[in-house]
Structure 1
Amino acid sequence: MPEILYADDQLVVVNKPADLLSVPGRGEDKQDCVWRRVQQTYPTARIVHRLDYATSGLMVLALNADSHRYLSNEFQQRRTEKSYQAVVFGDLEGETGEVKEPLRCDWENRPLQIVDYEHGKQAHTTWKKLQKEAKGTRVQLHPVTGRSHQLRVHMQFLGHPIVGDRFYAPEAAQALSPRLLLHAENLGFSHPQTGDWMEFHAPVPF
């Protein structure tokens, strides 16, 4: 069971472990996921947004149709606040920056994503350097948009893929960690019933 950080009659906030699907995949071996585990305690739970299989951190699930509609719209309209922490390969130059390369699915190599200036969808990430470490550079990442694998591909585009990334990092960067060093540490949104702003934090486990 993912760690439950908060629950009321409208929503549940959980801390997803790395290497767990957000929703079921195709095949019997891909049925274990955050959604099914949460449903064991909260049978009406509905997925609002997803984290990659390899990414850990904060997710909110809705407990009824109205809350699901409200929260889904908040994510689509970018009225939520999300920040991630990662360790990227190499020495990232500068203190802050942004990446705006458009992304699309690499259909021949699904589920990988690629930068495509002609057919890609708008994608925007801002980053802030936190500190240099033995394995690379620790950064805070803010996804302004929410494309699939956005943070991973944008960091790869900068020449600093995320350490432990089995999709986008070279072997040397994969070898530094058994897991992807990407964690959704902060999540903020307004409550679907009261409108009150809620903020959650999940400590970085690496």
Structure 2
Amino acid sequence: MIEIKVSEEISGVRLDQFLGTLEDLEISRSYASKLIKEDRIKLNGGSCKASAKVQAGDILLIDMPEPVSLDVVAEDIPLDIVYEDSDFLIVNKPKGMVVHPAAGHYQGTLVNAIMNHCGDELSTINGVMRPGIVHRIDKNTTGLLVVCKNDKSHRSLAEQLKVHSITRRYAAIVCGNIKEDTGTVDAPLGRSKNDRKKQAIDEVNGRDAVTHYKVLERFGDYTLVECVLETGRTHQIRVHMASIGHPVLGDDVYGPKKCPFKLEGQCLHAKVLGFTHPTTGKYVEFDSEYPEYFKKLLEKLRK
């Protein structure tokens, strides 16, 4: 059992937020919420909610569960590593690879591959199924991901994601000819009420979501765009572009069911990733080339 006394300067902060900032505890805000729901955290001797505001002098008793052994096995899967140091590595994820294990995908994921590459050198904040993973991209989206090797870098990157200071530029080929050169989609997203596997625009209960787009090249029936994320919601670019009548080409979830090209999912590539280095404090930025399928499709469209 861990006992923590709330200090004067923390007074008035949400309980889950407060717990997520404690370096000695080293848990994320979402994991703190999970412990609260499981009644493993007592506030002044009683049960509490994640939204409770802690006050100076409050006493927290935390019953941390025993570490769960990781059933996910390391696999010798080739990785396209763009950069690596003692804090993190930047990986160029291929199409068709799931980022972290989940029901139906316990093997062949990015996590299986990085466990083989890094061994025990991965952050633990997001739990045993997602070591090192701060953010993710969809199975059929290609491109750059940062993987954290320690909890210090993980907390730094998670905070940068939270305040939207990370640079994330995606390249997408979308259906239709976008007339304007630039635009912004500002529409909150939430889980679809009709299909729980899909996301949808939800003005009432959705979370803020903002995507900026810029036309790079036009091909008549298709357009190459750069999408810059201000927020990073699940399927954000795919839902936002579909909402303005320009779904991502090959997206059989939010776009047309039939595609004139032989594609494996959406034409979406996480091209640029930039952030403040957790140790040096300097801004670093990484770029990746279009994958082969993307290049070949662009050649066809240009002809």
Q: Tell whether the structures are fold-level matches, with TM greater than 0.5.
A: yes
2:235 is aligned with 1:149: yes
Residue identity opposite 2:200 in structure 1: I
Unaligned residue ranges in structure 1 (runs of 5+): none
Q: Relative contact order (alpha carbons < 8 A, sep ≥ 6): 1 or 2 greater?
A: 1
Q: Name 2:92's counterpart in structure 1.
A: 15
Identity of aligned residues (%): 36
Q: Deviations over 1:125-145 (max 9, x none)?
A: 000001112661000000111
Alignment of 1:180-199 (within 5 A): 180-199=266-285
Q: Describe the shift of the 1:59–1:140 C-alpha distance in structure 2 as closer, same or farther (beyond 3 A).
A: same
2:206 is aligned with 1:120: yes
Question: How far 1:37 moved relative to its partner?
Answer: 0.7
Q: Name 2:183's counterpart in structure 1.
A: 97
Q: Structure 1 stretch 51-60 or stretch 133-142: which is displaced more?
A: 133-142
Distance in 2 (alpha carbons) for counterparts of 1:72 and 1:50? 12
Question: How far 1:56 moved relative to its partner?
Answer: 0.4
Q: Name 1:40's counterpart in structure 2.
A: 116
Q: Deviations over 1:33-81 (max 9, x none)?
A: 1122111111223101111111100000100111111111111111111
Distance in 2 (alpha carbons) for counterparts of 1:170 and 1:52? 18
Q: For the Cα contact (< 8 Å) 1:15–1:58, is it kept in 2?
A: yes
Unaligned residue ranges in structure 2 (runs of 5+): 1-77, 123-131, 295-303
Q: Deviations over 1:19-46 (max 9, x none)?
A: 111111113x443211221111112231
Distance in 2 (alpha carbons) for counterparts of 1:61 and 1:2? 12
Q: For the Cα contact (< 8 Å) 1:88–1:160, is it kept in 2?
A: yes
Secondary structure (helix, strand or coil) at the match of 1:183 reads strand
Question: How far 1:168 moved relative to its partner?
Answer: 0.7
Larger radius of gyration: 2
Distance in 1 (alpha carbons) for counterparts of 2:220 and 2:107? 37
Distance in 1 (alpha carbons) for counterparts of 2:262 and 2:144? 21
Matched residue pairs, number? 204
Distance in 1 (alpha carbons) for counterparts of 2:177 and 2:190? 27
Alignment of 1:31-180 (within 5 A): 31-43=107-119, 44-45=121-122, 46-133=132-219, 136-172=222-258, 174-179=259-264, 180=266
Distance in 2 (alpha carbons) for counterparts of 1:72 and 1:147? 14
2:290 is aligned with 1:204: yes
TM-score by length of 2: 0.65
More strand by share: 1
TM-score by length of 1: 0.94
Q: Describe the shift of the 1:7–1:177 C-alpha distance in structure 2 as closer, same or farther (beyond 3 A).
A: same
Distance in 1 (alpha carbons) for counterparts of 2:261 and 2:221? 7
Secondary structure (helix, strand or coil) at the match of 2:273 reads strand
Distance in 2 (alpha carbons) for counterparts of 1:30 and 1:113? 24
Q: What's the Cα RMSD here?
A: 1.4
Q: For the Cα contact (< 8 Å) 1:13–1:61, is it kept in 2?
A: yes
Distance in 2 (alpha carbons) for counterparts of 1:155 and 1:176? 19
Question: How far 1:5 moved relative to its partner?
Answer: 0.6
Secondary structure (helix, strand or coil) at the match of 1:109 reads coil
